Amino acid sequence: MLKHLQVANLALVASARVEFEPGLNVITGETGAGKSLLMGALNLALGERTDRGIVRSGAAQCSAEAVFQLDDAAPLNAVLSEIGLAPCAGGEAILRRVVAAGGAGRQFVNDNAVTLQALKRVGDCLADMHGPHEHQSLLDPRAQLELLDAYGRLSVCRGAYAGDFERYDGARRALEELDRRPAAAPPAWLEEQVRELAAADLSEAEEAGLLADQRLLGNAHRILELAEEARQRLTEGEACAFNASAAALKALEAMAGLTEAPAAWAAELRGVLNRMREVARELDAFAQRAECDPERLAQVEERLALYQKLKHKYGGSVPAALARLAAAREELDGARRREERRAQRAEQASAARQAARAAGARLSAGRRQAAAAL
């Protein structure tokens, strides 16, 4: 409420001080008694624009001071904080305006110098001036709510609702933003890629082994023929290389008994004979592995067909297919995390909405109770 209004050197008034009491205060008087001067003084203190002509004749300056006592100073303190001033002490706000006959004027809020714009902001929080045919904020539903909340002392309840609603609005917008982003690929499609490539278990080493097995098994008959021919010429038959070399070794050993040089040749030839025996054994083992096995050949060709199919589908080579498997796994993991994030944000938005609705219900109930009394 307005506690008192003090005026000095305003128009025809040298000095005046008016005290106000709680409730409705009425100032009456005949035309010219000075009622409008008091209203003008209040407007001056609230930061309304004026001119130097209001300074009393012969005075250097005029001033107007209005002191308000607030039951709930929270809205005003919020404005004071925004303009860099301390909150009201004991809920009391002091507005003072000085207009000089020559030079700049000065404005003060709680004895702190402020700009005229700042004084006007503070004044708008404290008083609502109404005159004939003027715009009246009382007709604005927002102003009506401000009045109702102030009357019902609902600033704390209203602030709680505003905070809960802001959290809900932020959670809702975060969820909508995530939904606006298209997924990199349908999870089902990614799952099919990972399943197919992982089940195939491709490797370059296996492919190389399969190709070697395919060549071996596919040419088994010819390989067996050639291996047998080589083995025969090495170790079988009267004219085989082994028998001829063995005869040559005997001759060298006989010569070694007569002279020194053939002993070294005999040793070398003996090593050749040993190697012939080894090669013959290796040929025999190789021929056994190369035996025609239609079932194994079918398995190898079926596996190689899978390699060809997946290479054609996923980049043309085993490394490219393996790279696609790694990428698909990463994308699928990202898609799954996206669903987890969406579920988490949806849960947060739902919880915030319930909290805001509960806070809103409490505020509404307080307003209905205050409205009946008001």
With 60 as the cut, is the pLDDT of residue 134 above it? Answer: no
Pairwise CA distance, residues 167 & 353, whole Å: 8
Q: pLDDT-derived band of residue 253, with 50, 70 and 90 as boundaries?
A: confident
Q: What is the pLDDT of residue 137?
A: 66
The overall average pLDDT reported for the chain is 84
More confident residue, 344 or 261: 344
Pairwise CA distance, residues 227 & 216, whole Å: 13
Q: What is the pLDDT of residue 185?
A: 58
Write b or e for each residue in 72-85: b if 16 or more Cβ atoms lie within 10 A of its Cβ, otherwise e. bbbbbbebbeeeeb
Span of 35-44, 187-196, 213-222, 309-318 with lowest mean pLDDT: 213-222
Pairwise CA distance, residues 8 & 41, whole Å: 9
- Condensed to tens digits (0 to 9), the pLDDT of residues 140-180 reads 788 889 889 999 999 999 999 999 999 999 999 988 887 88
Closest CA to 107 of 97, 117, 99: 97
Count CA atoms closer than 13 A to 331's CA, side-chain side: 18
With 80 as the cut, is the pLDDT of residue 131 above it? Answer: no
Q: What is the pLDDT of residue 168?
A: 94
With 70 as the cut, is the pLDDT of residue 289 above it? Answer: no
pTM, whole model, 2 decimals?
Answer: 0.40
C-beta of residue 360 within 8 angstroms of C-beta of residue 163: no
For the chain, the distance separating the N- and C-terminal CA atoms, rounded to the nearest angstrom, is: 16
For residue 152, what are its two tokens? 């019902």
- Condensed to tens digits (0 to 9), the pLDDT of residues 202-213 reads 889 998 888 887
